Structure 1
Amino acid sequence: MSDKVCSHHKNKRRKSLLRCCACLLAAIFVVLLVVLLTWAILKPKKPRFTLQDATIFALNVSAPNVISTSVQVTVNSHNPNSRIGIYYDRLYVYATYANQQITFFTVIPPVYQGHKDFNVWSPFVYGSNVPVAPYNGIALSQVQSDGAPIEMTIKIDGRLKWKVGSLTTGRYHIHVTCPVGIQLGNSKNSGIVVGNGVKYQISQGCSVSV
């Protein structure tokens, strides 16, 4: 008799557990469905970045395989969404030349960007005696002596989260690429002397991938 009672209780517990699991799965499904429908209706747009200017304090080749750089850039970020906010996790800014990193990472602290909002950042990116491939140092020296445009790229890497109402998504990687060509010392693009540096107006859009 006791075996039958135990078996009955076990079956009852099993059914209750299955019911709880089914309810939980149904609730998760409903939440995911609501999020997906909201996402499809709102159609989030990627943030837009613009490189406004660059102030060159140093860009020196001390040896064929060593470059020292000190640049301050002004970057404008715009959230084009009218119903979606953006949480930027830490953003890392750095410069590259010929696809090789020539500065250390500069961190932009976490920030929230509301609907249609703008943020402007002016980080310094620098690197002292950064080792590079010898042919890149030689190429940069040649470009400087020829007075040709120096093609470098300002990059921003990090993560962001989308905010829709009270819902916040998981983190997504964001990669921003801002190519810039500057003719140092060129009379038509001499820039503005700012202390020990020269400021160049650029106002150029950047490519963004999320």
Structure 2
Amino acid sequence: MSKASLMGRYGPSSATGRLLCYAMATILVLCGIIALVLYLVYRPSKPHFSVLGAAVYQLSNASSASPATAVTTSMQFTIALRNPNERASIHYDRLSAYISYRDQAITPPVPLPPLFQEKDSNLAVSPVLGGEAVPVSTEVAAGLMTDEAYGVVGMRLVMLGRLRYKSGPFRSEWYGMYVRCDMLVGLKKGVSGQVPLLGGTPDCDADI
């Protein structure tokens, strides 16, 4: 092999290329380490949700053509949101809520305003849900009447939306949020206003 060929293969341009590759690899490794450290330091915990109180202003069945009936409901729930993160605040957006009974919605989804929650703080919202007739199966309508007569109605409050975390200059992507709050409400037919939550303050399951 000629001297010129050796110089072309192992000359300055080849050495410079190898140095650039080593430098790029080193930068990528350092960026990965920095990203991992930031994630471990600022990794946010998902918020906690619980129901503090309930009020029922209307819950009635309006029979219609078989096989379905319509339920008209007006309820208000006080929901506590707990942000356990000491370094990250939370933005909530595209929120809505509704009530279900035996896995069927008995109120239409109600949009809620965006929320901002500071670090390590508590927040409470009290949406009024319902107001419109919602078609349900005859089994759901009959079950509501039976539970009202007994004085205990099992309900589920569902909250949907999205959230993201902010920690200093860092902002996370938007995450979908699905919150389920199962509760037993002490309710008898004809009663209007505040009703007891049986079994204490129910905690909610949150999928983020």
Same fold (TM over 0.5): yes
For 1:209, the equivalent position in structure 2 comes to 207
Aligned mates of 2:27, 2:175 — CA distance in 1 = 25
Of the candidates 68, 76, 82, which is equivalent to residue 78 of structure 1? Answer: 82
In the alignment, is the contact (CA less than 8 A) between 1:143 and 1:149 conserved in 2? Answer: yes
The two structures, once aligned, show a CA RMSD in angstroms of 2.8
Shift of the alpha carbon at 1:35? 3.6
Unaligned 5+ segments in structure 2 are: 1-19
Cα gap change, 1:26 to 1:97, in 2 (>3 Å) = farther
Identity %: 27
In the alignment, is the contact (CA less than 8 A) between 1:52 and 1:201 conserved in 2? Answer: no
In the alignment, is the contact (CA less than 8 A) between 1:103 and 1:125 conserved in 2? Answer: yes
User: Alignment partner of 2:188: what SS?
Assistant: coil
- Provide the TM-score with structure 2 as the length reference: 0.77
1:81-102, CA deviations, whole angstroms, 9 ceiling, x for partnerless residues? 1111111112111111111111
1:147-167, CA deviations, whole angstroms, 9 ceiling, x for partnerless residues? 141111111111000112111
* Larger Rg over CA atoms: 2
Aligned mates of 2:106, 2:196 — CA distance in 1 = 22
Total equivalences in the alignment = 184
**1:131 corresponds to 2:118:** no
**1:198 corresponds to 2:202:** no
**1:182 corresponds to 2:182:** no
Q: Within 5 A, what are the aligned runs for 1:65-104? A: 65-104=69-108
Aligned mates of 2:72, 2:92 — CA distance in 1 = 29
In the alignment, is the contact (CA less than 8 A) between 1:102 and 1:127 conserved in 2? Answer: no
